[in-house]
Amino acid sequence: MKLNHQQIAARLHQGEVVAYPTEAVFGLGCDPENLKAVENLLALKQRDVRKGLILVAPTLEFLQKFVDFSAIPKTLMHRLTTPCERATTWIVPALAQVSPLLRGQFSTIAIRLCSHPDVVQLCEIAQMPLVSTSANVSGQAPALSIADVETQFGSEFPVLQGDLGGATSPSQIRDLFTNQQLR
């Protein structure tokens, strides 16, 4: 079901899982503070909770409740905030209270500053970061269109109407401290 930003933001506030366009694929997302919504997303995707999830937001301010910024040296903040050629998800220290549903079996959390216009607008309207994982059942191909989302999750699944960015592959994942590429 194609919806606009306001309608998708309302669904997020109601605890629903939604799909939205990102840089390369459609993402499944929800309110990261609504743990029932996170559980529903994990079940829908059939994703192992031990893997953890990514949070996306347009600015670091949206991530204050999740990231232990006091554990990140000022010298590394530049790495975190400097746009990369390719969309980059950073593994950073998580605050102690962050649910294992979000961080998996780790003491860290994966975050991405996203400049995709639909993600930026959705985060700003909803006033929250978004859980972000590719819109597909684990093991299936990621959704590259609204039709792909509907094929995997049904025609009534809430999808933000919008276009993918120009990336040809999902974000790379790097450890902020070592800069080692993990994906």
Residues 87-136 pLDDT 10s: 999 999 999 999 999 999 999 999 999 999 999 999 999 999 999 999 99
pLDDT (mean) for 157-167: 95
pLDDT at residue 83, rounded to an integer: 83
Provide the token pair at 158.
């809430």
Whether residue 55 is predicted with pLDDT greater than 90 in this model: the reply is yes
Whether residue 170 is predicted with pLDDT greater than 90 in this model: the reply is no
Among candidate residues 42, 57, 115, 37, the one with its CA nearest the CA of residue 67: 57
Whether residue 76 is predicted with pLDDT greater than 90 in this model: the reply is yes
pLDDT at residue 145, rounded to an integer: 97
Whether residue 140 is predicted with pLDDT greater than 90 in this model: the reply is yes
pLDDT at residue 136, rounded to an integer: 96
Whether residue 69 is predicted with pLDDT greater than 90 in this model: the reply is yes
pLDDT at residue 85, rounded to an integer: 84
Whether residue 84 is predicted with pLDDT greater than 90 in this model: the reply is no
pLDDT (mean) for 178-183: 92
Question: At 170, phi and psi to the nearest 5?
Answer: -60, 170
- The pLDDT tens digits of the residues spanning 2-40 come to 999 999 999 999 999 999 999 999 999 999 999 999 999
Whether residue 169 is predicted with pLDDT greater than 90 in this model: the reply is no
